[in-house]
Amino acid sequence: MKNRNPAPGAVGAAPPDNKVAAVAHDVALEAVGFTYTDGERPALGRINFTVAAGEMVGVMGASGAGKSTLAKCLNRIVPEFEGGAFTGVVRIGGRSLDGARVCEVAPRVGMVFQDFEAQLFSTNVAHEVAFAMEQIGMARGEMVRRIGPALEAVGLAGFEHRDPTSLSGGEKQRLAIASVLALSPSVIVLDEPTTDLDPEGKAEIFALIRSLREQGFSLIVIEHEAEVLRGADRLVLLREGEIIAEGAPRDLMTRLELLEECGVHPPDLNRVLAKSGIAAHGASVDEAEALIRRALPHLGATRASSASTDEPFRDAAPANGANPLVEVRALSFNYPDGPSVLDSIDLRIAPGEFVAIIGQNGSGKTTLAKHLVGLLHPTAGAVMLNGRDRTAMRPAETAAEVGYVFQNPDHQIFAATVEDEVAFGPRNFNLAPDEIQRRCDEVLRAVGLQDARALDPFLLSKGERQRLAVASVLALRPRLLILDEPTTGLDYREQRRMMALVTELNREGIAIVMITHTPWLVAEYARRVVLIRRGRKLYDGGVREFFTRDELLASSSFRAPEATELSRRFGTVALGPDELAQWLRAQR
Amino acid sequence: MPIFLYIERATFIHRLHPTVKVFALLVMFWSVYWVDHPLALLPLGLVMLALAEFTGAWPNFYRLRWLFILVILTTTLAWMVFYRQGPALINLPLIHLSRASLVFGLGRGLKLAELLATSVLFLSTTKVEEFTAGLARLGVPYRVGFAITLSFRLVPLFIDSALTVVQAQNLRGYDFNRGGPLERVKRYVPVLIPVFMGALRKANSMAMALEARGFGMSRQPTSFIDYPVEPSDLAATVALFALGALYFMIYYTGYGAISPK
């Protein structure tokens, strides 16, 4: 029997006064519909949705499917904060929220948002946890009593006096969860809480979610990666504001086509099993291995330790050719009066390469990339572009060699139309109007936005804005394209579309440097990995080789995708479900 | 780079009651306001330097050293153009370098630098939460006080965002420095639009997160930090009153002016 609503220690020792005893559901949405003021269709279309006390429900769907709207209905942000037409009833602990203000719901429903920076308001960790308690008028003694256990529950005990801005992304998000826990809500809603985190931060948050589940909180976790929701009691799949499927992870996660149609990343293990003719759910790598061994008993018992990297699959060594496009020589960098950010980095990138730069948040990845494009200047060492010292090159010359697409496309979009946005760069270089038009046509076609040329860029979806940002950089025809986290904030369908575009550009000869935290992107798309840790290059080599270096992976808090991990159980190294399924079929 | 200026120390100044700190900020502004002569401003400047040393605020002054130098130099030079009093020591086409214009310009430069130094000292020794509490004690509504203190947190974020936008547009070959003054202002449109849109999105996200944390439930929220009034607060208040009165007297008697009454 689960312990009902006990946040740990003192937090749990003070159940909220507004609890209604013996309710069947902690959360109930009855025919809830919502259309945003300027929305063309309902964001939610009269859905019925329940969460039992102590249940963990995963909500999945593409961008715009209604996931966040559903979450915001639970604490009255919809319709109190967001304008629009609301219908239906939301009940928390059996009580209707009709007429309640957002702040009044806070003690009952804790909400953790994707943007952890926007959730922190204080100058030290203890005060951050106290903030919500202050707002509801809690006595000081009670606040003091709750802070310690709340921080302990999220693994931040001892951080009380730290400045929240000095924490890592994962720690900031855990702090946001602690400040929610301190109010001792019965329901916690987490809206894509790991989108902006590195693998270590993601692992921290999902370990915490598991712990909260064990403690009996009712949890609603919104995600578009099915894999991370395996531990949920139930999954709900949304499409265009409607619930189109729900059920246990074991049932829903084997409906791969449906998941993909809905913009959800299906679990790679299940993709491997399905492609190998095994209709079953692999809840873990161990379980998937057992299923495969049962289906293919003749497979050897080779384990990871003897995994071979000599497979005839895609891989590439570092560029050692005579004419690299980029050559970084003993590059060191530190901000004035600051510690070292990069320390003696050597790197060569040849034309047409596809390199993934990985490392934890703050490791120096972006700093290195900014040197390639001239946004930063080395403290020591040099960056050569096509054999010339980059510091001696004019911006136009640099732009013709290297393009940089920032993580957030909204950092560059400003024009009134999509076409104007693309034309902005070429105009700055005083190209002839005919040439500008030719380039606009070319790159808009390449990114699939040729029909959107007259639209206002701010009306595009996040995925389309990201592709527009790529197009506006491509219009300068760089030979090397640097993409900083090109898939952050995109759903699976948009991620695949973006990566198909990047792959196509690479096929046409543009070298790609992709900064990313996402293991499956590295495995399935890159041909070379550069691992940076604390400003030093720890690894530079093939992708397949990289994913066999267990110590390196562990020490850099990176992990191989599950399909790769599974493949190593059979003595091979596959860089994705398709490769592994192909290998398994060959073993039959 | 830290986005707050606050530096944790256990000094007497850090421990002062937030209301006294806000009062000290106002008294320093008051005192600087009334006098113009560099010699009258100098003691206040020395007090601030001593306080910077005492409170461990030097790193913030060091971070902003170029701003201080720029403020003093540009203001001094600017007044040599506009304050054309006294016999010229050197004849230059635009600049009127006289003893009077030098003293006046230096006074104005010091004045601005001391206003800046007061703010840096205040923010180095006062947490934003204390600022909110101090304003509340002075009768400022909690929501207004919170909005003011939140702006201290937002400004560095917006500056950071603006720098990224400038970098993004630079990489697309945009030259912000082309043309005359008006043209240059216009050329910041490709920065202002993304920053403004980003600020709106950030403000919207923060407002939602605030309400979701119960902000607005109580008109006068409780405070996690207890701020007892100590004898040192009373002593500091008396000293501040005396300082304010002294500088008003300096103004009133004309000793703080460039040309005595």
The answer, yes or no, to whether residue A50 has pLDDT greater than 80, is: yes
Band of pLDDT at residue A368, cut at 50, 70 and 90: very high
> pLDDT tens digits, residue range B214-231?
999 988 899 888 889 999
Place of tokens 């915490």: A208
Cross-chain CB nearest to B214 (options A132, A408, A428): A132
Rg of the Cα atoms in chain A: 25
* Residue at A547 is within a domain: no
- Cite the DSSP H helix spans in A241-377: 249-252, 256-261, 268-275, 285-295, 365-373
A161 touches chain B (CB under 8 A): yes
pLDDT at A321: 57
Q: Does a structural domain hold residue A300?
A: no
Instruction: Characterise A84 by phi-psi region: left (phi > 0), alpha (psi -120 to 50), beta (else).
Output: left
| Least confidently predicted of A100-114, A311-325, A380-394, A523-537 | A311-325
A173: number of Cβ within 10 Å: 31
Kindly state the percentage of chain B with pLDDT values over 70: 97
pLDDT band at A400 (very low <50, low <70, confident <90, very high): confident
> B33 and B86: one domain?
yes
**Domain limits for position B145:** 141-216
On whether both A235 and A380 belong to a single domain, the answer is no
Interface test with A, best of B213, B218, B219, B220 (most A CBs within 10 A): B213
CATH classification at residue A393: 3.40.50.300
Judge: B4–A428 Cβ closer than 8 Å, yes or no: no
- How does pLDDT run across A242-275, given as a tens digit for each residue? 999 999 999 999 999 999 999 999 999 999 999 9
**ipTM of the complex in this document:** 0.83
Asked if residue B221 belongs to a domain, the reply is no
Do B169 and B82 share a domain, yes or no?
Answer: no
Amino acid identity, residue A412?
Answer: Q
Contact A409, A469 (CB under 8 A): yes
Over residues A17-40, the pLDDT tens digits come to 333 334 457 899 999 999 999 888
Token pair of A179 as six digits: 């400040």
Structure tokens that stand for A541 in this block: 């080599």
Nearest 10 degrees: Cα torsion A129, A131, A132, A138: 100
Distance of CA B245 to the CA centre of its chain: 22
Higher pLDDT, A313 or A237: A237
Query: Is residue B167 domain-resident?
Result: yes
Nearest CB to A412: which of B4, B194, B211? B194
Please judge whether A123 and B128 are an interchain contact, meaning their C-beta atoms are less than 8 angstroms apart: yes
pLDDT for A139-149, tens place per residue?
Answer: 999 999 999 99
pLDDT in tens, A155-173: 999 999 998 888 888 899 9
Angle between helices B231-253 and B18-34 (to 10 degrees): 10
Q: Is residue A306 part of a domain?
A: no
Chain B neighbors of A370, CB-CB under 8 A: 167
Instruction: Tell whether B132 and B52 lie within a shared domain.
Output: yes
Asked whether A447 and A392 are in contact (CB, 8 A), the reply is: no
CA distance B239 to chain A (A): 29
Chain B partners of A137 at a C-beta cutoff of 8 Å? 217-218, 221-222
Quick one: B130 and B47 in the same domain? yes
Q: What percent of chain B has pLDDT over 90?
A: 46
My answer on whether B67 and B194 are in the same domain is no
Strand order in the sheet with A84-92: A44-52, A25-36, A84-92, A95-96
Residue B225 lies in a domain: no
Measure CB to CB from residue A163 to each of B2, B170, B212 and give the nearest one: B2
Say which DSSP state A357 is in: E
Query: Which of A541, A561, A577 is a domain's end point?
Result: A541
**Bigger pLDDT: A353 or B187?**
A353
Query: For residue B259, what pLDDT is reported?
Result: 65
- Beta-ladder partners of A537: A532
Q: What is the predicted pLDDT for the residue at B87?
A: 84
* ∠ CA B159-B160-B166, rounded to 5°: 85
Of A313-317, A358-362, B17-21, the poorest mean pLDDT is in A313-317
The domain boundary, picked from A210, A244, A260, lies at A260
CB contact under 8 A, B172 and A399: yes
Q: What is the Cα–Cα distance from A86 to A434, expressed in whole angstroms?
A: 50
Say whether both B165 and B189 belong to one domain: yes
* Nearest-neighbour CA in chain A from B72: distance (Å): 23
Domain limits for position A180? 9-260
State the total domains in chain A: 2
Residues 281-320 on A with a CB inside 8 Å of B are none
Residues in A touching B169 (Cβ below 8 Å): 412
Q: What is residue A9's predicted lDDT score, i.e. its pLDDT?
A: 38
pLDDT at site A391: 87
Q: How does pLDDT run across A298-324, given as a tens digit for each residue? A: 886 555 444 444 443 445 555 555 589
Cβ separation B225–A404 shorter than 8 A: no
Q: Could you tell me the CA-to-CA distances from A391 to A345, A378, B136 in Å, in that order?
A: 17, 9, 53
Residue among A370, A402, A403, A400 nearest A472 (CA): A403
Question: Which residues of chain B neighbour A468 with C-beta distances below 8 Å?
Answer: none
* Bond before A433 cis per omega within 30 degrees: no
Residue B261 has pLDDT above 60, yes or no: no
Domain co-membership, B158 together with B90: no
Taking the Cβ of residue A262 and every Cβ of chain B, the question of whether any pair is shorter than 8 Å is answered with: no
For chain A, the average pLDDT equals: 88
pLDDT at residue number B187: 86
Q: Length of chain A in residues, anyone?
A: 588
A36 touches chain B (CB under 8 A): no
Q: Is the pLDDT reported for residue A3 higher than 60? A: no
Task: Say how many domains are in chain B.
Answer: 2
pLDDT at A396 (0 to 100)? 73
| Residues A390 and A528 grouped into a single domain | yes
Q: How far is CA A101 from the centre of its chain?
A: 31
pLDDT tens-digit map of A78-137: 999 988 999 999 999 999 999 999 999 999 999 999 888 888 888 889 999 999 999 999
